């Protein structure tokens, strides 16, 4: 799928449109974010998180986006897309080509993906015009494009952080990843020993099953304190049992 990407060094989170995920036939993990924008602080948002690989149009360079959160709309106007006619308007940008594709802005790439944002070539601004940087994904124009139509003020500042539930889930995934990798239940050594004792000692006697008690030390070493009966020497005709 082809899409335009917006590079935003002022955002700490990468976003993509839900329509782009549908086109890619990708379903991410459901999560929650707390968004901070110019319109409000700590606004809760339900979204999905995915991992994407982004290529340039020639498919020569690849950048991995480890965590991309979905949004219904990125709120970036199509007028923000630079065109070749914008480049041709400025002589200091000669030789730069901006391909046109029939697509919307489907990606916002954050500042902590330096491989995507770092410039490999730079054209400084002249006469109040835009400056340009060439990245692994192509040329990017920044600044006033010099169009004659009325300017429309825009701001795309966005900060995001996982909610407490998401943070706790991430913590558990890091601290207890052995449990995630192997969720099979195991018995303790004492449990296994008790089970072996019962399996080895089970008997069917007169229609009833008997099993040995699962002593910790088996066979058990018990004190011989069983009560004994003794007959009095003086009363043999009428024996009297006494318990000693």
Taking the whole predicted model, whether its pTM rises above 0.75 is answered as no
Predicted local confidence at residue 241, as pLDDT: 41
Mean pLDDT of the chain: 77
Report the DSSP beta bridge partners of residue 123. 132
Question: 226 pLDDT exceeds 50?
Answer: yes
Predicted local confidence at residue 223, as pLDDT: 74
pLDDT above 70 as % of the chain? 71
Nearest residue to 51 via CA among 16, 76, 6 = 16
Distance between CA atoms of residues 100 and 210, nearest Å: 83
Per-residue pLDDT tens over the stretch 109-118: 988 788 898 9
Distance between CA atoms of residues 101 and 145, nearest Å: 19
User: CA torsion sign, 231 to 232 to 234 to 237?
Assistant: negative
Report the DSSP beta bridge partners of residue 190. none
Predicted local confidence at residue 43, as pLDDT: 66
Distance between CA atoms of residues 163 and 118, nearest Å: 30
C-alpha Rg value of the chain to the nearest Å: 38
Q: Contact, 11 vs 5, CB < 8 A?
A: no
Question: 244 pLDDT exceeds 70?
Answer: no
Q: How big, in percent rounded to 5, are the helix, strand and coil portions of the chain?
A: 25, 30, 45
Q: Contact, 154 vs 77, CB < 8 A?
A: yes
Q: Give 200's pLDDT tier (boundaries 50, 70, 90).
A: confident
Per-residue pLDDT tens over the stretch 42-53: 567 788 889 999
Question: 90 pLDDT exceeds 60?
Answer: yes
Least confident of 20-24, 54-58, 105-109, 216-220: 216-220
Question: 130 pLDDT exceeds 70?
Answer: yes
Q: What is the largest CA-CA distance in the chain?
A: 136
User: CA torsion sign, 11 to 17 to 20 to 21?
Assistant: positive
Q: Estimate to the nearest angstrom the gap between the alpha carbon of 179 and the chain centroid.
A: 16
Report cis status (omega within 30 of 0) of the bond before 219: yes
Please give the order of strands across the beta sheet that includes 62-71: 4-7, 105-109, 14-17, 62-71, 40-55, 29-37, 158-162
Predicted local confidence at residue 158, as pLDDT: 47
Q: Which letter does DSSP use for residue 150 in this model? A: P
Q: Estimate to the nearest angstrom the gap between the alpha carbon of 188 and the chain centroid.
A: 32
H helix runs in the chain, sequence order: 18-24, 84-88, 114-117, 164-175, 177-181, 189-201
């Amino acid at each position: 799928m082809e899409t335009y990407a917006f590079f935003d060094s002022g955002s700490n989170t990468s976003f993509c449109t839900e329509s782009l995920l549908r086109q890619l036939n990708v379903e991410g993990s459901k999560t929650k974010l707390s968004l901070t924008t110019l319109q409000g602080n700590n606004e809760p948002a339900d979204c999905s998180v995915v991992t994407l690989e982004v290529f340039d149009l020639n498919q020569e360079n690849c950048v991995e986006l480890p965590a991309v959160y979905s949004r219904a709309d990125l709120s970036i106007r199509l007028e923000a897309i630079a065109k070749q006619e914008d480049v041709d308007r400025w002589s200091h940008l000669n030789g730069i080509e901006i391909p046109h594709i029939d697509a919307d802005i489907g990606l916002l790439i954050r500042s902590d993906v330096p491989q995507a944002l770092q410039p490999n070539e730079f054209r400084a601004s002249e006469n109040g015009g835009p400056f340009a940087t060439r990245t692994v994904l192509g040329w990017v124009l920044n600044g006033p494009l010099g169009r004659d139509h009325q300017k429309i003020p825009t701001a795309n500042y966005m900060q995001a952080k996982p909610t407490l539930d998401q943070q706790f889930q991430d913590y558990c995934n890091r601290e207890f990843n052995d449990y995630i990798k192997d969720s099979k239940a195991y018995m303790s050594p004492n449990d296994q020993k008790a089970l072996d004792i019962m399996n080895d000692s089970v008997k069917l006697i007169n229609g009833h099953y008997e099993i040995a008690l699962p002593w910790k030390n088996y066979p058990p070493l018990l004190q011989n304190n069983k009560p004994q009966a003794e007959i009095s020497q003086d009363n043999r005709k009428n024996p009297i049992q006494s318990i000693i």
